[in-house]
Amino acid sequence: MLFDTHVHLNADQFADDLEETIARAHEADVKYMTVVGFDRKTIPLAIQIAEDYDHIYAAVGWHPVDAIDMTEEDLQWIEELSSHPKVVAIGEMGLDYHWDKSPADVQKEVFRKQIQLAKKLKMPIIIHNREATDDIVEILKEENAAEVGGIMHCYSGPVETAKECIDMNFMISLGGPVTFKNAKLPKEVAEAVDLEHLLVETDCPFLAPHPNRGKRNEPAYVKLVAEQVAELKGLTYEEVSKRTTENALKFFRIKS
Ligand SMILES: [Zn+2]
Ligand SMILES: [Zn+2]
């Protein structure tokens, strides 16, 4: 059985067929999921879905692309929601230098505030990183994020940095890109990082794995990610699905 550790079933793309999407996930061996909320609209939806379905959990945080919109009230709101019994992590948070809606200094400030909040709450964090690996690692170190640990979601950086993150109590979560023919780094990471530090995810509706690349992604496809990881590590799918699910349950402190 599988745990898709990063889904956006709270996205508009699933508004019309959420029920069927979750049923397809179950048919594809996916038992657990974490729905990630990242702004005023998607956070309540993440919690709603977690309340409506068994084995679906929620994470609450503020996305770096929209960092410029986050107010002190939003941060307080995230803090209040963190005590909900199905909220298992703070995030996604981080840095995204691909889009320029929020200046880097604003993103860094909002990132640091959320790490500090997670430390106060003693909850793990989920990191979104796009073209900002060095700054993210620096901030995780400066803020001593190792105290709570976290997930490098949809990790696509080098092996070296993955190891640095593991040393700070972070899990490495692999998504659709590990299945792309031209994606060298995620494949290297899948090979080099020990299974005990790995998780799998879809980040659906984005980044659909091969051979569904370009289509709407959905949790059922996390099986393709796990199969690819198994192939790269020379292990069976059963071993990879079992171990990554155990890792995720332990990480999110879920009693199965
Ligand atoms: Zn993300
Ligand atoms: Zn996400």
Could you tell me the CA-to-CA distances from 84 to 96, 221, 234 in Å, in that order?
28, 28, 40
State CA 111 to chain mean position distance: 15
Pair of tokens at residue 71: 């107010």
Mean pLDDT across 5-21:
98
Query: Which ligand does the CA of 155 lie closest to?
Result: 1
For residue range 31-77, what is the model confidence (pLDDT) as tens digits? 999 999 999 999 999 999 999 999 999 999 999 999 999 999 999 99
In angstroms, what is the span from residue 27 Cα to ligand 1's centroid?
A: 26
Expressed in angstroms and rounded, the spacing between residue 37 Cα and the centre of ligand 2 is 8
- Taking only the tens place, the pLDDT of each residue in 32-45 is 999 999 999 999 99
pTM over 0.95: yes
Token pair 């550790």 is found at 5
Q: How far apart are CA 104 and CA 120, in angstroms?
A: 24
CB count in 10 Å sphere of residue 180: 16
Specify the pLDDT at position 99: 94
pLDDT given at position 167? 98
Assess whether pLDDT exceeds 80 at residue 256.
no
Q: Tens of pLDDT along 133-188? A: 999 999 999 999 999 999 999 999 999 999 999 999 999 999 999 999 999 999 99
Q: With cut-offs at 50, 70 and 90, classify the pLDDT of residue 255.
A: confident
In the three-class reduction of DSSP (H, G, I as helix; E, B as strand; rest coil), residue 169 is classed as: coil
Residue 8 Cα to ligand 1 midpoint, Å, equals 10
The predicted pLDDT at position 83 comes to: 97
